[in-house]
Structure 1
Amino acid sequence: MATEDSRRLSADDRREQILAAASVVFGERGYAGGTTDAIAREAGISQAYVVRMFGSKERLFRATAERAAIKVREAFIRELDALGDGASREDTQRALGGAYAGLMADRGLLLSLLHLFSQGHDETLAPVARGCFLDIYRLVRERGGMSGEQATAFFAQGMLMTVLFAMRMPDAAGDADAQELMACAFGEKRDELIQLGLLHEPLDRAPRS
Structure 2
Amino acid sequence: MPSEVAVKESARAVRMSGDERREQILLAARHVFAEGGFAATTDEVARAAAISQPYVVRLFGSKRDLFVEVYRQAAGEVIEVLTAAAQEADPGEAMGRAYLELIEDRDLLRLLMHGFIASADEEVGRVARHCLGEAYRLFVASTGAEPDEARQFVAFGMLLNVLVAVDADAHRGEDAGMDALIDCVVLATRRAQA
- How does the TM-score come out when normalised to structure 2? 0.80
- Whichever residue aligns with residue 4 of structure 1, its letter is E
Q: CA deviation at 1:70?
A: 0.9
- Whichever residue aligns with residue 185 of structure 1, its letter is V
Q: CA deviation at 1:137?
A: 2.5
Range with bigger deviation, 107-116 or 130-139? 130-139
Identity of aligned residues (%): 41
Range with bigger deviation, 11-20 or 50-59? 11-20
Cα distance between partner residues in 2 of 1:105 and 1:9: 30
- Mapping for residues 26-41 of structure 1, pairs under 5 Å: 26-31=33-38, 33-41=39-47
CA RMSD of aligned residues (A): 2.2
Q: What is aligned with 1:3? A: 8
- Mapping for residues 1-209 of structure 1, pairs under 5 Å: 1=4, 2-5=7-10, 6-31=13-38, 33-81=39-87, 83-84=88-89, 87=90, 92-175=91-174, 177=176, 178-186=178-186, 187-188=189-190
Aligned length: 180
Q: What is aligned with 1:204? A: none
Moved over 6 A (4+): none
Task: Give the helix-richer structure, 1 or 2.
Answer: 2
Q: Which gives a bigger RCO, structure 1 or 2 (Cα 8 Å, sep 6+)?
A: 1
Matched-pair contact (CA < 8 Å) for 2:116–2:125: yes
- Whichever residue aligns with residue 24 of structure 1, its letter is H
Cα distance between partner residues in 2 of 1:124 and 1:66: 9
Q: CA deviation at 1:175?
A: 4.2
- How does the TM-score come out when normalised to structure 1? 0.75
Helix, strand or coil: the match of 1:4? helix
Change over 3 Å in CA distance of 1:10–1:182 after alignment to 2: farther
Cα distance between partner residues in 1 of 2:111 and 2:44: 15
Q: CA deviation at 1:150?
A: 1.3
